[in-house]
Chain A
Amino acid sequence: GQQLNQSPQSMFIQEGEDVSMNCTSSSIFNTWLWYKQDPGEGPVLLIALYKAGELTSNGRLTAQFGITRKDSFLNISASIPSDVGIYFCAGRIPNDYKLSFGAGTTVTVRA
């Protein structure tokens, strides 16, 4: 699959802080997705992006589809303890029906 570079690999944040993570690809994507995985569970979709420049929010989460179509970021505002988990970016290139995933960003919140 396509290689996605996700950063940072992990982060410790204070409750109430804003968090940002991003993903870059060497290929142009027509879909960017952000998933969250809790321990012992499968990834759950947070936000889906379908157009370059698109900015979409889901509660305290905001994600953007980069203009170059090769990157995306996810912001979490005012973090709370339940934001703990692993966040994955995923993307799809045109005419391909599988998703490629980043290595994940592990978020740990200090109460």
Chain B
Amino acid sequence: EAGVTQSPTHLIKTRGQQATLRCSPISGHTSVYWYQQALGLGLQFLLWYDEGEERNRGNFPPRFSGRQFPNYSSELNVNALELEDSALYLCASRGDIGANVLTFGAGSRLTVL
């Protein structure tokens, strides 16, 4: 089965611009999670979508938003980019609500200049 796919692989933006990152979960998975991994740091939870609804969000400003589409793919939007937004953004999907394991994509590397 195809894994979690993310695009683009790399994205370069300048301060103040907007970035959009995309994620397709494993077929049949309805939950999508977004994490930020800044250089040398662990994974910080950003957002969780399930069945098209935002279920939880981490401690990030409203500039970080997203949505989940009817086919369960998801988009992460970052507005008014700041230098410290430079990071690897990882998307993960999970099967049914009882499943504990997240399967990650390879990530989208966002660089803000």
By a beta-carbon cutoff of 8 Å, the part of chain A in contact with chain B is: 1, 4, 6, 31, 33, 35, 40-45, 48, 50, 88, 90, 92, 97-104
Q: Which of A1, A4, A48, A88 has the most CB of B within 10 A?
A: A1
B binding-site residues for A, Cβ under 8 Å: 4, 31, 33, 35, 41-45, 48, 50, 55-56, 58, 90, 92, 94, 97, 100-107
Complex interface: chain A residues within 8 A of B4 (CB) = 42
Q: Which of B56, B90, B97, B107 contacts A98 (CB 8 A)?
A: B56
Candidate in A35, A50, A88, A101 with the most chain B CB atoms within 10 angstroms: A101
Chain B, Cβ-Cβ closest to A104:
B42
Q: Which residue of B lies closest to A31 (CB)?
A: B100
A sample of 11 cross-chain residue pairs with beta-carbon separation below 8 angstroms, ordered by A number, consists of A1-B45, A33-B101, A42-B4, A42-B92, A42-B104, A43-B43, A88-B42, A90-B102, A97-B50, A97-B97, A100-B45
